[in-house]
């Protein structure tokens, strides 16, 4: 859980305006890393070995271990963050408000999984 919170704190610093011009994408990467660390911590406690699977597989398996709302939240956050982490010339970078919302949701997910 500590890696998850460290990544979220670092993303919070970038979202608070203490970063450089690359902050939107960097914040998105940190929030996604926090989500992945949170899932890995959960699986290492719940179903050892599953933490070594890719994130998509972990999220699919989450449906069988947690309530549907938690599984949907994890899937939605991971999809949005993965999309935000990739540069597309025809799309704008995620806004600070979008990233702040994802940051809040990942922090809530961490609380649900801990």
What is this structure's pTM?
Answer: 0.90
Q: Could you list the residue range(s) of the whole structural domain that residue 88 is in? A: 2-113
> Which of 10-19, 34-43, 62-71, 102-111 comes out lowest in average pLDDT?
10-19
A 10 A CB-CB count for 100 gives 17
Residue 19 confidence (pLDDT) above 80: no
Q: What is the pLDDT of residues 37-57, one digit of tens each?
A: 999 999 999 999 999 999 999
Q: Which of 38-47, 80-89, 91-100 has the highest mean pLDDT?
A: 38-47
How long a stretch of residues is the chain?
114
DSSP string, 51-109: GGS-HHHHHHHHHHHS-HHHHHHHHHHHHHHHHHHS--TTSPPPPHHHHHHHHHHHHHH
When divided into structural domains, the chain yields a total of 1
Which two tokens mark 43? 């699986």
Percent of the chain past pLDDT 90, that is, above it, reads 71
């Amino acid at each position: 859980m500590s890696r998850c919170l460290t990544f979220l704190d670092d993303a919070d610093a970038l979202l608070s305006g203490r970063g450089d011009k690359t902050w939107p994408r960097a914040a998105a990467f940190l929030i996604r890393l926090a989500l992945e660390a949170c899932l890995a911590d959960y699986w290492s406690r719940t179903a050892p070995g599953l933490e070594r699977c890719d994130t998509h597989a972990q999220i699919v398996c989450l449906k069988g271990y947690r309530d549907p709302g938690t599984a949907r939240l994890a899937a939605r956050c991971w999809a949005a963050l993965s999309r935000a982490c990739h540069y597309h010339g025809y799309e704008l970078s995620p806004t600070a408000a979008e990233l702040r919302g994802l940051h809040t949701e990942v922090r809530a997910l961490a609380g649900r999984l801990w």
